[in-house]
């Protein structure tokens, strides 16, 4: 049996890659230094894998930005707008593709979520008449580098099916027409790698999705060609993020040597695979979760491994991580502040490498209990710890009734009650919550956190900040005001810090895209709200103005999706606990006289399961959790929700089922096109399609906003149309914020006049 991982995080224990990249981009270090530091990181990552006792080290998993971009680069899939960039310095071209270049009017390539993770990949672009060529030998070079440093590498590359399936077509070309040209390059790369190693990993996570028949039909020929190129070297087909299900039938016939399966996100598929994957071929068991931070249950994992050993002997088996460790933080050793009891339940990437090696020893050894002694103790401690269970919360979730999920009356009746109380004009204007987070705000927050700013000074500063944004909004002439969220560093962390059942790491960073990382909170136990979280700030804000103020909360699904979630309770139950905590906050805000409350569900869509068959179930519980937060509020209390994306086709009916009085969405970049989803569906409640793309500093003119709104009016009735930016403004600066909001209000006034005439 061989032990391996599918890939190691690139970012470095102390986010060295982030700092290096940003230093390079800002011009403070030369390219040579960037490469030296990258080489050093790769070396460290290989050492970790080797020292842990893994049988191979992954190569090609390292990237200066993204592995999909690397693959596009390897294949010469370079969008025409970048042809003007001199290719004498490939890094120049590479980073421009990733990040754009305003000076040359080059827009960056699009980014989107890598399957159902929080990692964003660069979406390769195909256009008519592209000429592909073997453009970058990075993978071969890094594999050579590993060998010359004495490691035994297993090169990793994105498989052609996944690459094409995730790419997009910019004109009416058909990206699959490029398959042949691509395969030619894959063949070259694979035959070069085959000279160097005896196993090559091709990542094909799309095999765990509902794959179109046309793609299935291409697979045998594709892998026939790749296998020929590999010759005596083994091809490992790496599938992850789910089960193979029906795809296994034809996957089993592909001429590859090793099949890697995910037994965490695809748990329960082992028997099916053992039965259908040819016995004489190798199988890799992904028994260890590459996407979470908990120790693996060694007994359960070795049981799976022993099943497989009985079925086909150990020689043909591998054991590894479910997917690449890209999605887990690097080193638990660094967490010196973490409560030791909780820390003992966790494993980050380095510890996961050690776990894999240990599992191999245990599965092959004669005394599993002895070998896994420490693991068994940690798992048992966690299971029996009173810190993970709170009987009163369990009782509360059990007692959730369907009545608790409903508003008291229908939207049409509520709307009248709300209008009576709020007296809003046509096309009410508002923002999504946050206002620019200036350096000063960040500085005070961090000083307060580290005890360098007193509670009194902090309160005073924040109150002044709130007062300022209130006055500014009044001056601009907005109708529904917000307090500005200056006290929040992050929309999930802020709530997590005030909820029981959460803990936080110091260095638990995970790459989100390029040099950007996130540090998700950890939900380890039952969640509850010991005290109100936002009421003081929000009521203070409302007291400063006669205009209605919108209280801002983060929704349960979003908190769930952006945290490391405990694996000892179903996700929907964790979400219910979060929903009850937010529900309490909603009740308190309402009781404190706040008439409008927004519950952001920015992540609702990204929680969608990969398989269509699983989606309805998810949407049902996710929508119910949202409804639980607001069920029972008065008719006259107006509930808003906000979502940061524009693809609604798959979830339009779920959004309607949330039954928020107002939903704000991102729409400006697509020029309101996304509203079609709402038209087809006849979305019943109020909508605020974003009219300002807040992802860029560009100021939209009054004219532009007016035109967008006129477009929106074709789909949304006048009495249900709100006016707002695409998202929160915390990453924007004040000058463009002021100018854009003034234009937004002016465009709205013009619209109101238009309505009168």
Residue among 559, 585, 584, 588 nearest 574 (CA) = 559
Residues 553-572 within binding reach of ligand GLN (CB under 6 A):
none
List the one residue from 61, 479, 585, 600 that touches ligand GLN (CB under 6 A).
600
List the one residue from 672, 727, 745, 751 that touches Zn ion (CB under 5 A).
727
Q: Which of Zn ion, ligand GLN, none sits in contact with 160, Cβ below 5 to 8 A by type? A: none
CB 286 within 8 A of CB 320: yes
Angle subtended at Cα 170 by Cα 516 and Cα 675, rounded to the nearest 5 degrees: 80
CB 538 within 8 A of CB 585: no
Residues 695-724: x where in contact with ligand GLN by CB under 6 A, - otherwise, as a string: ------------------------------
How many binding residues for Zn ion (CB under 5 A)? 2
Q: What is the DSSP string of 148-181?
A: HTT--EEEEEE-HHHHHHT-EESSS--GGGGHHH
Nearer to ligand GLN, 324 or 534 (CB): 534
- Taking the C-alpha atoms of residue 305 and residue 297, their distance in angstroms, rounded to an integer, is 12
| Nearest-approach distance from CB 236 to ligand GLN, in angstroms | 38
- Taking the C-alpha atoms of residue 55 and residue 51, their distance in angstroms, rounded to an integer, is 10
Q: Which residue is nearest to ligand GLN (CB)?
A: 728
- Taking the C-alpha atoms of residue 70 and residue 422, their distance in angstroms, rounded to an integer, is 53
List the one residue from 328, 730, 744, 745 that touches ligand GLN (CB under 6 A).
730
Nearer to ligand GLN, 603 or 745 (CB): 603
CB 551 within 8 A of CB 604: no
* Cα–chain center distance at 206: 17
- Count how many residues are written for the chain: 757
Q: Which of ligand GLN, Zn ion, none sits in contact with 234, Cβ below 5 to 8 A by type? A: none
Q: Which of ligand GLN, Zn ion, none sits in contact with 166, Cβ below 5 to 8 A by type? A: none
Per-residue DSSP letter, 724: B
- Taking the C-alpha atoms of residue 368 and residue 364, their distance in angstroms, rounded to an integer, is 8
- Taking the C-alpha atoms of residue 486 and residue 482, their distance in angstroms, rounded to an integer, is 11
Q: Which residue is nearest to Zn ion (CB)?
A: 644
Q: Which of Zn ion, ligand GLN, none sits in contact with 552, Cβ below 5 to 8 A by type? A: ligand GLN
| Nearest-approach distance from CB 438 to ligand GLN, in angstroms | 15
Nearer to ligand GLN, 6 or 432 (CB): 432
CB 151 within 8 A of CB 46: yes
Alpha helices in 544-693 (DSSP H): 556-561, 571-591, 612-630, 652-658, 675-681
Single out the catalytic residue among 19, 35, 272, 695. Answer: 695
List the one residue from 552, 559, 625, 639 that touches ligand GLN (CB under 6 A).
552
Span near ligand GLN by CB under 6 A; candidates 58-66, 254-262, 326-334, 727-735: 727-735
Nearer to Zn ion, 507 or 724 (CB): 724
DSSP E strands, 342-385: none
Residue among 494, 463, 510 nearest 728 (CA) = 494
Span near Zn ion by CB under 5 A; candidates 278-286, 311-319, 641-649, 654-662: 641-649
Q: Which of Zn ion, ligand GLN, none sits in contact with 20, Cβ below 5 to 8 A by type? A: none
CB 435 within 8 A of CB 482: yes
> Beta 522-528 vs 564-565: how paired, if at all?
parallel
Residues 394-433: x where in contact with ligand GLN by CB under 6 A, - otherwise, as a string: --------------------------------------xx
Q: What is the CA radius of gyration of the chain?
A: 27
Nearer to Zn ion, 132 or 727 (CB): 727
| Nearest-approach distance from CB 552 to Zn ion, in angstroms | 12
| Nearest-approach distance from CB 532 to Zn ion, in angstroms | 24
Nearer to ligand GLN, 49 or 534 (CB): 534
Q: Does 727 bind ligand GLN (CB under 6 A)?
A: yes
- Taking the C-alpha atoms of residue 421 and residue 638, their distance in angstroms, rounded to an integer, is 10
Span near Zn ion by CB under 5 A; candidates 273-281, 493-501, 640-648, 735-743: 640-648
Q: Which of ligand GLN, Zn ion, none sits in contact with 465, Cβ below 5 to 8 A by type? A: none
Query: CA quadruple 551, 555, 558, 562: dihedral positive or negative?
Result: positive
> Beta 125-126 vs 550-554: how paired, if at all?
unpaired
| Nearest-approach distance from CB 563 to ligand GLN, in angstroms | 15
CB 478 within 8 A of CB 427: no
Nearer to ligand GLN, 257 or 666 (CB): 666
For the chain, the distance separating the N- and C-terminal CA atoms, rounded to the nearest angstrom, is 79
In the sheet that holds 317-321, the strands lie side by side as 2-4, 317-321, 282-288, 258-262, 234-238, 199-203, 153-158, 57-59
Span near ligand GLN by CB under 6 A; candidates 458-466, 652-660, 685-693, 725-733: 725-733
| Nearest-approach distance from CB 481 to ligand GLN, in angstroms | 13
List the one residue from 302, 430, 434, 637 that touches ligand GLN (CB under 6 A).
434
How many binding residues for ligand GLN (CB under 6 A)? 13
Q: Which run of H or E residues covers position 483?
A: none
- Taking the C-alpha atoms of residue 440 and residue 536, their distance in angstroms, rounded to an integer, is 22
- Taking the C-alpha atoms of residue 650 and residue 643, their distance in angstroms, rounded to an integer, is 14
Q: Which of ligand GLN, Zn ion, none sits in contact with 428, Cβ below 5 to 8 A by type? A: none
- Taking the C-alpha atoms of residue 170 and residue 686, their distance in angstroms, rounded to an integer, is 33
List the one residue from 461, 513, 728, 748 that touches ligand GLN (CB under 6 A).
728
- Taking the C-alpha atoms of residue 278 and residue 257, their distance in angstroms, rounded to an integer, is 10
Q: Which residues contact 272 (CB under 8 A, 6 or more apart)?
A: 243, 244, 248
| Nearest-approach distance from CB 727 to ligand GLN, in angstroms | 5
Residues 173-202 within binding reach of ligand GLN (CB under 6 A):
none
Residue among 220, 568, 208, 519 nearest 388 (CA) = 568
Nearer to ligand GLN, 312 or 483 (CB): 483
Per-residue DSSP letter, 335: -
CB 520 within 8 A of CB 509: no
Residues 483-502: x where in contact with ligand GLN by CB under 6 A, - otherwise, as a string: --x-----x-----------
Per-residue DSSP letter, 295: P
Q: Which residues contact 722 (CB under 8 A, 6 or more apart)?
A: 427, 428, 429, 430, 662, 664, 686, 687, 688
Span near Zn ion by CB under 5 A; candidates 10-18, 121-129, 154-162, 637-645: 637-645
Residues 636-665 within binding reach of ligand GLN (CB under 6 A):
642, 644
CB 279 within 8 A of CB 259: no
Q: Which of Zn ion, ligand GLN, none sits in contact with 433, Cβ below 5 to 8 A by type? A: ligand GLN
Q: Which of Zn ion, ligand GLN, none sits in contact with 491, Cβ below 5 to 8 A by type? A: ligand GLN
Residues 603-642: x where in contact with ligand GLN by CB under 6 A, - otherwise, as a string: ---------------------------------------x
Asked about 695 being catalytic, the answer comes back as yes
| Nearest-approach distance from CB 583 to ligand GLN, in angstroms | 18
Q: Which of Zn ion, ligand GLN, none sits in contact with 309, Cβ below 5 to 8 A by type? A: none
| Nearest-approach distance from CB 421 to ligand GLN, in angstroms | 23
Span near Zn ion by CB under 5 A; candidates 316-324, 581-589, 636-644, 734-742: 636-644
Residues at the interface with ligand GLN (CB under 6 A):
432-434, 485, 491, 552, 600, 602, 642, 644, 727-728, 730
Enzyme catalytic residues: 695
Residues at the interface with Zn ion (CB under 5 A):
644, 727
């Amino acid at each position: 049996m061989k032990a391996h991982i599918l890939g190691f995080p690139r970012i470095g224990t102390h986010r060295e890659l982030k700092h290096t990249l940003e230093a390079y981009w800002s011009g403070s270090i030369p390219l040579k230094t960037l490469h030296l530091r990258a080489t050093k990181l790769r070396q460290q990552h290989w050492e970790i894998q080797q020292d842990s006792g893994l049988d191979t080290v992954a190569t090609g998993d390292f990237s200066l930005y993204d592995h999909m971009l690397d693959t596009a680069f390897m294949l010469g899939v370079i969008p025409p707008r970048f042809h003007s960039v001199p290719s004498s310095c490939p890094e120049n071209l590479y980073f421009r593709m990733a990040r754009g270049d305003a000076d040359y009017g080059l827009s960056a390539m699009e980014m989107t979520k890598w399957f159902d993770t929080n990692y964003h990949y660069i979406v390769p672009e195909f256009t008519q008449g592209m000429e592909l060529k073997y453009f970058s030998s990075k993978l071969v070079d890094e594999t050579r580098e590993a060998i010359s440093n004495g490691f035994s590498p297993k090169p990793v590359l994105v498989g052609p099916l996944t690459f094409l399936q995730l790419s997009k077509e910019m004109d009416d070309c058909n990206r699959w027409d490029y398959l042949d040209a691509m395969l030619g390059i894959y063949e070259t790369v694979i035959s070069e790698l085959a000279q160097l190693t005896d196993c090559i990993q091709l990542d094909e996570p799309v095999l765990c999705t509902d794959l179109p028949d046309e793609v299935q039909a291409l697979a045998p020929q594709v892998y026939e060609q790749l296998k020929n190129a590999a010759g005596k070297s083994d091809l490992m087909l790496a599938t992850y993020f789910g089960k193979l299900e029906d795809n296994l039938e034809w996957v089993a016939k592909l001429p590859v040597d090793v099949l890697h399966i995910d037994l965490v996100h695809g748990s329960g598929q082992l028997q099916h695979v053992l039965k259908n994957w040819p016995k004489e071929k190798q199988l890799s068991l992904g028994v260890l979760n590459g996407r979470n931070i908990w120790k693996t249950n060694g007994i359960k994992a070795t049981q799976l491994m022993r099943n497989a050993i009985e079925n086909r002997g150990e020689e043909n088996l591998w054991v590894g991580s479910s997917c690449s460790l890209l999605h887990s933080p690097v080193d638990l050793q660094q967490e010196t502040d973490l409560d030791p009891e909780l820390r003992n339940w966790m494993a980050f990437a380095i510890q996961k490498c050690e776990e894999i090696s240990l599992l191999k020893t245990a599965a092959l050894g004669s005394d599993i209990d002895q070998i896994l002694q420490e693991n068994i103790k940690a798992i048992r401690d966690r299971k029996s710890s009173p810190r993970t269970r709170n009987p009163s919360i369990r009782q509360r979730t059990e007692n959730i009734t369907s009545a608790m999920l409903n508003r008291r009356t229908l939207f049409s009746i509520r709307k009248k009650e709300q209008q009576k109380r709020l007296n809003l004009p046509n096309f009410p204007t508002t923002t999504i919550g946050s206002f620019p987070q200036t350096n000063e705000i960040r500085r005070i927050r961090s000083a307060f956190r580290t005890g360098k700013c007193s509670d009194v000074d902090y309160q005073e500063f924040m109150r002044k900040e709130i007062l300022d944004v209130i006055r500014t909004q009044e001056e601009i002439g907005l109708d529904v005001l917000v307090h500005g969220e200056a006290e929040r560093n992050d929309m999930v962390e802020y709530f997590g810090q005030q909820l029981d059942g959460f803990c936080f790491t110091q260095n638990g960073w995970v790459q989100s895209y390029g040099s950007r990382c996130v540090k998700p909170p950890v939900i380890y136990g039952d969640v509850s709200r010991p005290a109100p979280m936002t009421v003081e700030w929000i009521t203070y804000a409302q007291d400063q103005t006669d205009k209605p103020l919108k209280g801002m909360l983060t929704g349960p699904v979003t908190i769930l999706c952006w945290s490391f979630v405990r694996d000892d309770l179903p996700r929907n139950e964790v979400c219910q606990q979060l929903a009850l905590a937010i529900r309490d906050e909603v009740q308190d805000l309402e009781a404190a006289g706040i008439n409008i409350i927004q519950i952001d569900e920015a992540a609702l869509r990204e929680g969608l399961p990969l398989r269509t068959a699983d989606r309805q179930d998810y949407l049902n519980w996710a929508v119910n959790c949202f409804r639980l937060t607001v069920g029972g509020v008065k008719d006259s209390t107006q509930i808003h929700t906000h979502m940061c994306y524009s693809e609604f086709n798959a979830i339009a009916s779920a959004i309607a089922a949330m039954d928020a009085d107002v939903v704000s969405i991102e729409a400006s970049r697509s020029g309101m096109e996304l509203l079609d989803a709402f038209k087809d569906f006849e979305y019943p409640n109020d909508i605020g399609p974003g009219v300002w793309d807040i992802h860029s500093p560009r100021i939209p003119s009054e004219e532009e906003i007016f035109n967008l709104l006129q477009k929106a009016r074709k789909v949304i009735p006048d009495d249900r149309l709100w006016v707002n930016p695409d998202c929160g403004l915390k990453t924007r600066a004040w000058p463009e914020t002021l100018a854009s909001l003034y234009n937004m209000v002016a465009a709205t006034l013009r619209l109101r006049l238009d309505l009168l005439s």
